[in-house]
Amino acid sequence: MEAKREVWVDWLRVLACLLVMVVHSAEPFYLNGYDTLILTRSDLIWTSAIDSAARMSVPLFVIASSYLLFPLRYPAGEFVRRRAVRILIPFIIWSIAYALLSDAPAASLKSLLLNFNFSAAHLWFIYMLLGIYILMPMLSPWAKDVSRKELKVYLAIWLFTTTLPIIRDIMTSGNVPYIIGPSYIPRQADYPLWGECSWNPNGTFYYISGMIGYMLAGLYFRRFTADLSRKRALTISLPLLIIGFAIIEGGFVLKALHKAQGVFPVRGDWANTIWMETTWHNETLGVALMTLGTVTMLKQIRSDGSGRIYRKLIVPISKASYGMYLMHMMLLPVISDRLRQTSIPTPVIILATAVITFVITAIVSIIIRRIPRFGKYIVG
């Protein structure tokens, strides 16, 4: 028998899945490959606003996983087995599929030995999620006993670390080198802070920074927010959403305008793109604030799960969301290319691309999941 579902988590998964597709639908309006290319001021305004509003998509998935799984409710061995079936096997299948369909199948397959490849850059998320799963069994004993006050201290330290990318950016004025790995993916080189150096990349805040904070946030929401009233939740979430959005969008727009100097199109190399995207990164303050605000609001959904829309629409899409994430970049670029050949306004193209991709991948993923015995190994 299936365990009782967390209704608000199903809504969260559906929202997060749609927002991921919104983010990827906006990319062609400020990127040419990885180089910066913003054709008009209107494109800048619309793209930055829509993309910034969707940037909490990946952290929402991490919080959902943490809320449902952490601390572990069954032995570590069973946890590993379940996650392997649900996450790892579909991930391997789709990684190989993207590689085979890429422009350089042999090179792409070879790169999978070390990392994701350029043809499926969105699969970086799965590597990160697997790392989170490795930590869960180790931290579960602590998570079962941690007090509210103690957990708040760790979350506060983590929130401070979300300012580090911004501090690095200020200290370097954006003038930092970037490197390209074997999968042809660019990564910004770090500016050393608090113990980081050439022989020690693990500075003071290394072990409490990054996506681990969203795992801790999921634990906090599970154990310590059940008593929030709707009025209190709104009082907390609205400032978080507003301030977070201002940080995310403001950082991108100000940098784009600085680069433009009043002249469009705005062009730049990969280093410029990385610099402009600083406040869009998942581990930065604005994204963290918007994520926490969004979860605070969604957790106020207190339905008993009997509603027809929830049972017939939200639950099937929630269950299929992992498969939708895996497959959506096979379809989304094609839809985007077609729509961008029309005279439809930029915001409509972005949202239409996301919605069409969402609907098609939902249908396909739901159908595949219903294949007896084999469906779960394909889309989780």
Residue 368 has pLDDT above 80, yes or no: yes
C-alpha closest to that of 17 among 133, 125, 93, 112:
125
Residue-wise pLDDT for 279-326, tens only, equals: 999 999 999 999 999 999 999 998 888 889 999 999 999 999 999 999
**pLDDT attached to residue 119:** 82
**pLDDT of res. 271:** 86
Residue 160: count other Cβ atoms within 10 Å of its Cβ.
14
Query: Within 13 Å and on the Cβ side, how many CA atoms surround 310?
Result: 15
- Average pLDDT in the chain: 93
Q: How confident is the model at residue 2 (pLDDT cuts 50, 70, 90)?
A: low
User: What residues have CB less than 8 Å from 284, skipping those under 6 apart?
Assistant: 162, 163, 165, 166, 247, 248, 278
Please state, for a pLDDT cut of 90, what percent of the chain lies above it. 77
Q: Is the pLDDT of residue 4 over 90?
A: no
pLDDT bin (cut points 50, 70, 90) of residue 70 is very high
Cα→Cα distances 220→59, 224, 236, Å: 14, 6, 15
* Per-residue confidence band for 34, with pLDDT thresholds at 50, 70 and 90: confident
- Residue 131's pLDDT is 93
pLDDT: is 306 or 360 the higher one? 360
Distance CA(3)–CA(98), nearest Å, equals 34
Q: What is the pTM of this model?
A: 0.94
Whether the predicted pLDDT of 3 surpasses 70? no
pLDDT at residue 1, as a whole number: 47
| 250-261: average pLDDT | 95
Which residue type does 17 have?
C
pLDDT 10s digits, 183-234: 777 777 888 999 999 899 899 999 999 999 999 999 999 999 887 888 999 9
**Angle at the Cα of 212 from the Cα atoms of 120 and 146, rounded to 5 degrees:** 150
Beta bridge partners of 32: 35
Query: 132-186: per-residue pLDDT in tens?
Result: 999 999 999 999 999 999 999 999 999 999 999 999 988 888 777 777 777 777 7
Higher per-residue confidence, 302 vs 254: 254
* pLDDT score at 117: 84
